[in-house]
Structure 1
């Protein structure tokens, strides 16, 4: 089983594991992890991008972008968090715990990003790069065909494909719009639609806005008969 990296400053890790719901219920608690999540998202995008750039010189920009997107999306980061046992040690409020927050992919993914941000502050970029390489190795291999080094067709950038279709057909880009959101702060679900020239082509739901818009684009392509 994968292990969390060792921290020189344990308080940074503690902060990374602390969700807003815990801080709201405990006066005097340390800062929640949302700022670290912001930092970790940026660090992770750079580190994974550099890793793929160096490892696969034969892949195009589009292929590298799709591969990086799949490696840092919510489902994949939630899997990494589960492997590291992050769900068991997150600091959550009682409401989040009752709503099975320790198994919530969105919370796991966000906390993983916060942990990466904390580790960067604690030990620097080189340590983060080593950690990411060791943890992401199997996931990268699963997404790249070893014989041809071609990115698997499962990591289609659906939003780019929909945009290409819209520009070619209507000379306009798709417009994504929020239909609604539901659930508590620690487990919101967003519903987005996508329209082109005023016509709605697809609707999607997800724990993050980015995921909801991707699903909306995928459903639009399916309706158009363009999804493979």
Structure 2
């Protein structure tokens, strides 16, 4: 049986252990760790997620600006993009063991168990915002540096863009353009699954699925490139 999710002081103590920050407003903390999928929740973390994304971007940009004083924009931009990417936030959520603290739909948590998932990325960004609102920018900065600064020293590889690469490959031999068509949309509003087909004149369509239309289109383009031998293997996730 899963352990009961802590609330109140127990939740605040657990968060302090992983963030180094002691919340004054426990209700704000509870909101930050409540996903929109949570049943009967009076509020959720969507607004805080919006703010946290911006606070994270500012702190990371400043960190990189100070840390790499001689690096040109073209060098630090991909590093910045990797550090603020939702996959990085999700990985940090797993590292912090936030899945035991976030209030969310049980089925959603079960599907994402062990692999993070967007709900954990959302929670991390919302937690950043909550720390900022509760304790100010310096408190948020200290939390962000605690987890993001070590990653800034690691090698960053720019992720491949399957849609752009497919369009460039087609353009070499044809004036046609890839066309993406939604085949179906399944699942609840907070956790949809899209199935998309990419169609190119003279080729069989390829199918891809994902949690957003964009992700499904990228999956379809990747499948096309792999099938036609343009790619030898699927692209690895962006590396930090």
TM-score, normalised to structure 2's length?
Answer: 0.67
Distance (Å, rounded) in 2 between the aligned partners of 1:224 and 1:3:
45
| 1:3 paired residue number | 18
- In 2, are the aligned partners of 1:78 and 1:109 still within 8 Å (CA)? yes
Select which of 145, 158, 177 maps to 2:161.
158
Distance (Å, rounded) in 2 between the aligned partners of 1:172 and 1:58:
43
Deviation track 1:12-46 (CA, whole Å, cap 9, x = no partner) reads: 11101112222xx32xx431111111111222122
Moved more, 115-124 or 173-182: 173-182
Q: How is 1:28-47 mapped onto 2 (pairs within 5 angstroms)?
A: 29-47=41-59
State the superposition RMSD in angstroms.
Answer: 3.6
Gaps of 5+ in 2: 1-16, 236-240
| 1:91 paired residue number | 103
Distance (Å, rounded) in 2 between the aligned partners of 1:133 and 1:75:
17
Gaps of 5+ in 1: 145-150
Flag the structure with higher helix content: 1
- In 1, are the aligned partners of 2:52 and 2:125 still within 8 Å (CA)? yes
Deviation at 1:131, TM superposition (A): 1.4
| 1:14 paired residue number | 30
Deviation track 1:96-146 (CA, whole Å, cap 9, x = no partner) reads: 45x34554511111111111121121112222122111211232222x3xx
- In 2, are the aligned partners of 1:173 and 1:196 still within 8 Å (CA)? yes
Structure 1 residues 127, 157: CA separation in 2 closer, same or farther (over 3 Å shift)?
farther
Query: The residue matched to 2:153 in structure 1 has which SS?
Result: helix
Q: How is 1:86-165 mapped onto 2 (pairs within 5 angstroms)?
A: 86-97=98-109, 99-100=110-111, 103=114, 104-142=116-154, 144=155, 151-152=156-157, 155-156=158-159, 158=161, 162=165, 165=168
Select which of 194, 206, 213 maps to 2:210.
206
Distance (Å, rounded) in 1 between the aligned partners of 2:70 and 2:198:
34
Structure 1 residues 173, 62: CA separation in 2 closer, same or farther (over 3 Å shift)?
farther
- In 2, are the aligned partners of 1:52 and 1:64 still within 8 Å (CA)? yes
Structure 1 residues 110, 194: CA separation in 2 closer, same or farther (over 3 Å shift)?
farther
TM-score, normalised to structure 1's length?
Answer: 0.70
